[in-house]
A and B are shown apart, each in its own frame.
Chain A
Amino acid sequence: MQRVVISGLGVVSPIGIGKDDFWSALSRHRGTPLREVKTAGGARGGIPSIEIDDFDYGKLSRFGDDKRTKYMDRYIQYAAMAMELALDDAGLVKNGLDLSDCGIIFGSAYGCIENNTRHIEGLYNKGPRFVNPVIYQNTVPNTAPGYCALLFGMRGYNTIITSGMTSGLNAISYAYNLIKIGRADLIVAGGVERWCDALQRSLELSGLVSSRSEASQGSAAKPNNMFVSEGAGVIVLESMAHAQKRNARIYAEMCGYGMANNLDTSRGISDCIRQALSENRMTPGDVGSTYICAHANSEGAPEKEELKAISSVFGNNGPSICVGTIKGSLGEALGAAGGFGIAASAMALDKGEIPPTCNLKFSDDESNFHFIYNNTEIRKIDHAIVNSIGIDGNNMSILLKKA
């Protein structure tokens, strides 16, 4: 078995492009309003959403003028830009390392749905004979890992997971496992999401239900203080041996994960955390000072269920467990959320600082965990756990530890 480390971070987000801007924005938020929030409306009441401003791939990327990028839609651009940032951050491009055996595994909830809408618009409005083959070829989500492979010459393991909101963590766990069992030395993994109208309508119609109690209510109440966003969060995963051999900077070590399909979130997430711990041969008492980067994207039932789960595992750990969410600043970025969470948690471990929770308040009466609001806290942490919960019932947790 190999040990697996995180050696590079690439973030394209509504609050910052590049991990330093991202971290700086996360740690400075004091509950101030974010950039322009637009309400898209919809059948059961609008949920605000934001797009990334000022994203010009042509200007941002070293491949901006490369003719191979001509037909990359924004979904692909987010992934490719985050990829480029991650590889640069890991010192891989500058040092001219041969990446031909390296892999790429992404995750996305709605994938290329914006492009797919274009295709179907063409089909219905212009007719079958005038369907654009260039648009058609981008109607599968693997254009993201495919273009990334092309631009960086990476011919190893390459795929994409589309399992709803847990896709980002799912992709990362898949890559982690392949490295752990010695099948690959280096895989870039993470999540990407591109906001569009069809995605917005889908989420609004679904009521963003993420717990059984809400599911049983049918048309669920709108989650409080939630908004939808987009972007890409991508990390470089490497075997410890490979990273050490090239003197790579190591942010954190990844040491376990859990997957469980259960609409009963409190049961599902607690199972996931326990799986992650046991994979690392740990009991809840072994975690020491820990930051839990929660899924919580709103106030209300889902966040309560997640806290219940965390309590059932770590109830006896008290304030050495710090629970927070970055989604008050970032919004719910769906497939990209897992990547954002891992990036933030890796930096938290590396820096010994925990970013504050903004715009949301946990229903923290039932627990004696530590919650940080409004200011970054300097705190050395030993472990971090990142959670994702899907409205389809999927749950995931990933466990990181200080390198």
Chain B
Amino acid sequence: MKQEKIVVTGLGVICANGKSLSEFRRNLEDGVTGVGSVTLFDVSPYRCKIAGQVRECDYGKDDFEDRAAMFAVNAAAMAIEDAGLKLDSKGNDRVGVILGTTMGGIASFEKFYRSQFMGDSEKYYRNLEKQHTFHIMTDAVAEKFSLRGPKSTVCVACASGTNSIGYAADLIRAGKADIMLAGGSDSLSEFVFSGFSALRAITPSDRIRPYDRDRDGTALGEGAGILVLEREESAVKRGAKIYAEYAGYGFSNDAYHPTQPDREGPGLAKAMEYALRESGLPGDAIDYINLHGTGTKANDVMETNAIKRVLGAHTKRIMASTIKPMVGHTLGAAGAIEAIATVLSIKDDFAPPTINHVTADSECDLDIVPNKARKAKINVAMSLSAAFSGNYAAVMFKKHMRDNENAARSH
């Protein structure tokens, strides 16, 4: 079935190693990490002391705006400007927003709980009942930019950012919108940090080492990533720059166990297969995979197995890296921030490195682009996400055809 072409025309990102797209882009290639000591709350009771906290950032300090909502609004502003979009402050009926998150306004939920249930009424907290919801960051973006099109929040844990991008594309093709903002946002919180710590999922070290034989857990992160998606014809018509073409997505569940992923990777494999099916491309077309790569013992093995299930022998020919050592596990934003890294990898033909790599693991034997970014032709790339409760998602992008034509001519 013929599908309308959808392209990416704007990007906005805020995370530990970049508070602007250019800073993020540069640090991605230079392998610069933003993961460091947590100062947002007291981590002295915990074994883990690190996270990808966004530095010098006061978002959420006052009572009126939630931290995750502010990440989203500011990243959205960047993306809209990057896309050269002229929005109407009175209302934009054909522009919508889909964001993913794990916890939404969790920073506000902590305050809400304290003020409502712990009698912490010294400070007067305003609007917390609105700010603490799972969808506050989506509402904040829609309100700030007067978006009247489809507005929705996907809340499938760490697969949310990835899932949102595909859903946004679906809505454009369904004729419900002409332009969609898609992405995700989450803020660092003791709520989540304490949980990951209780699960022994976060590292006691000063860094994370996904895919390394001696990896010992992940580190949390925070931030937001926003992509602007629109039909190719409208992007071309308004002379927008095109980063890449959206190719397809998938999301699934491995139905294996309430808390453990199936190590053989069939759930993630299915999400990848759905994405490939929508793209119309064979697995052999993939040049680069942006891994979920959290650095837990279980994830990296599962992910390797999933990729091998889908790509078979082609697995040896791809590059596959994770940027989580540089930004942390940004939860609901991860799918979006990592999709942005994937889009940039296609646009600029480079694979970001998996930093902190020391010793290879024979069970996770992908070419993880260790420690140094690599320049290489990347025509087709995929970004993967995995989540609690057996959920998975994958999203694919490919070089926009004009670049391909130019490349063909230059041979």
Chain A residues within CB distance 8 Å of chain B:
68, 71, 100, 104, 109-111, 116-117, 119-121, 123-124, 127-129, 131-133, 136-137, 139-143, 145-147, 149-150, 152-164, 170, 174, 177-178, 181-183, 197-198, 201-203, 205-206, 258-262, 268, 271, 275, 279, 392-394
A160 vs B160: C-alpha distance when bound (angstroms):
9
| Shortest Cβ distance from residue A164 to the other chain B in the assembled complex, whole angstroms | 6
Do A157 and B252 touch (CB < 8 A)?
A: yes
> Are A119 and B195 CB-contacts (below 8 A) given A156-B252, A198-B116?
yes
Instruction: Report A-chain residues with C-beta under 8 Å of the C-beta of B250.
Output: 157
Instruction: Report A-chain residues with C-beta under 8 Å of the C-beta of B116.
Output: 198, 201
Do A163 and B151 touch (CB < 8 A)?
A: yes
Instruction: Report B-chain residues with C-beta under 8 Å of the C-beta of A68.
Output: 257-258
Do B174 and A177 touch (CB < 8 A)?
A: yes
Q: Quick check: is B109 within 8 A (CB to CB) of the other chain?
A: yes
Top 5 A-B pairs, shortest CB-CB distance: A146-B389, A136-B195, A162-B134, A158-B253, A205-B129
> Are A162 and B155 CB-contacts (below 8 A) given A123-B194, A146-B253, A177-B174?
yes
Q: Quick check: is B1 within 8 A (CB to CB) of the other chain?
A: yes
User: Contact partner of A143 among B114, B152, B154, B389, CB < 8 A?
Assistant: B389
User: Contact partner of A161 among B154, B195, B251, B267, CB < 8 A?
Assistant: B154
Q: Nearest CB to that of B390 among chain A residues?
A: A146
Q: Quick check: is B153 within 8 A (CB to CB) of the other chain?
A: yes
Do A158 and B152 touch (CB < 8 A)?
A: no
Instruction: Report B-chain residues with C-beta under 8 Å of the C-beta of A183.
Output: 274, 277-278
Instruction: Report B-chain residues with C-beta under 8 Å of the C-beta of A198.
Output: 112-113, 116-117
Which of B1, B129, B267 is most buried by chain A, counting CB atoms within 10 A of its CB?
Answer: B129
Do B135 and A392 touch (CB < 8 A)?
A: yes
Chain B residues within CB distance 8 Å of chain A:
1, 45-46, 91, 93, 96, 102-104, 109-110, 112-114, 116-118, 128-130, 132-135, 138-139, 142-143, 147-157, 159, 163, 167, 170-171, 173-176, 190-191, 194-199, 250-259, 266-267, 270, 274, 277-278, 387-391
> Are A393 and B155 CB-contacts (below 8 A) given A123-B191, A150-B390, A202-B132?
no
| Shortest Cβ distance from residue A160 to the other chain B in the assembled complex, whole angstroms | 6
Do B176 and A275 touch (CB < 8 A)?
A: yes
Do B176 and A259 touch (CB < 8 A)?
A: yes
Do B259 and A137 touch (CB < 8 A)?
A: yes
User: Contact partner of B267 among A155, A160, A258, CB < 8 A?
Assistant: A155
> Are A147 and B258 CB-contacts (below 8 A) given A120-B113, A140-B155, A162-B135?
yes
Do B198 and A261 touch (CB < 8 A)?
A: no
Do B388 and A161 touch (CB < 8 A)?
A: no
Do B253 and A145 touch (CB < 8 A)?
A: yes
User: Contact partner of B93 among A139, A150, A271, CB < 8 A?
Assistant: A271
Beyond A147-B389, A149-B253, A159-B159, 7 extra complex contacts between A and B, CB < 8 Å: A129-B45, A131-B194, A131-B198, A142-B388, A149-B255, A202-B112, A261-B142
Instruction: Report A-chain residues with C-beta under 8 Å of the C-beta of B266.
Output: 155
Do A128 and B197 touch (CB < 8 A)?
A: yes
User: Contact partner of A104 among B132, B139, B253, CB < 8 A?
Assistant: B253
A392 vs B150: C-alpha distance when bound (angstroms):
13
A88 vs B39: C-alpha distance when bound (angstroms):
52
Instruction: Report A-chain residues with C-beta under 8 Å of the C-beta of B96.
Output: 259, 261
| Shortest Cβ distance from residue B348 to the other chain A in the assembled complex, whole angstroms | 31
Do B191 and A261 touch (CB < 8 A)?
A: no
| Shortest Cβ distance from residue A334 to the other chain B in the assembled complex, whole angstroms | 11
Instruction: Report B-chain residues with C-beta under 8 Å of the C-beta of A164.
Output: 133, 135
Which of B175, B251, B257 is most buried by chain A, counting CB atoms within 10 A of its CB?
Answer: B251
Instruction: Report B-chain residues with C-beta under 8 Å of the C-beta of A128.
Output: 45-46, 190, 194, 197
Instruction: Report A-chain residues with C-beta under 8 Å of the C-beta of B46.
Output: 128
User: Contact partner of A260 among B149, B196, B197, CB < 8 A?
Assistant: B149
Do B251 and A158 touch (CB < 8 A)?
A: yes
Instruction: Report B-chain residues with C-beta under 8 Å of the C-beta of A279.
Output: 174-175
Do B118 and A124 touch (CB < 8 A)?
A: yes
| Shortest Cβ distance from residue A199 to the other chain B in the assembled complex, whole angstroms | 10
